[in-house]
Amino acid sequence: MTGPSGGVLPAAPDPLPKFRFVVTLDPGDAYLPPAQAALVPLVAGAAFQEVTGLGAQLEVVAYAEGGRNDSVHQLPLRHSWNRLTLRRGLVLDPGLWSWYQAGLSGSLGGRRDGSVLLLDAAGIPAVSWAFHGGLAAKWTGPDLHAEQNAVALEALEIAHEGLTRVDPSTAATQLTRR
């Protein structure tokens, strides 16, 4: 494919696969009193099968200006973040349940920061999002069926105060420290 000046355009990079990712949870002690922070484990004890909810939206209000009939102004009102949902096979380590329980026992809740790192084909972080001030807002246990031979899954919804896209080199350093 050639560009407007007749030169060859570089090939578009391949999209990243969505099946290689890592979720990290920072210690909860930055937000909690020491007695409550001790109840929250440092890192989730298992890999996650699925992460959903990476997203945000800007609420926009339509404002019709008097005397202007050809259009309506669109004004930003407030910004909000989607809840992150983590799903994994139920394990004996009660890490996610403990975080949820810690949030019930204190007025501030068990807030934690964390990140979601999307890895490239070589396993190197390519894109990373950090969430801030996350609360374990909803824990869901497994659906049990005697006639199915499936893995029992648990899910945790995290309500947070914002997402930040992190530079991949910073994300790689974060991953090697864990």
pLDDT digits (tens, 9 = 90+) for 98-135: 888 877 876 666 788 888 988 888 888 899 999 999 99
Per-residue pLDDT band at 63 (split at 50, 70, 90)? very high
List the domain boundaries for the chain: 21-55+82-177
Summary mean pLDDT of the chain? 81
Average pLDDT, stretch 132-142?
A: 91
| Cα 3 to Cα 8: distance, rounded to the nearest angstrom | 6
β-pair partners for 135: 159
pLDDT at 79: 93
Whole-prediction pTM value?
Answer: 0.76
Residue partners of 120: CB distance under 8 A and separation at least 6: 16, 17, 20, 126
Each residue of 29-45: pLDDT tens digit?
Answer: 555 556 655 555 444 44
Stronger pLDDT, 28 or 106, i.e. the higher one: 106
Specify whether the CB–CB gap between 48 and 86 falls below 8 A.
Answer: yes
Q: Helix, strand, or coil here: 29?
A: helix
Q: What is the DSSP letter of 82?
A: P
For the domain made up of 21-55+82-177, the CATH class stated in words is: mainly beta
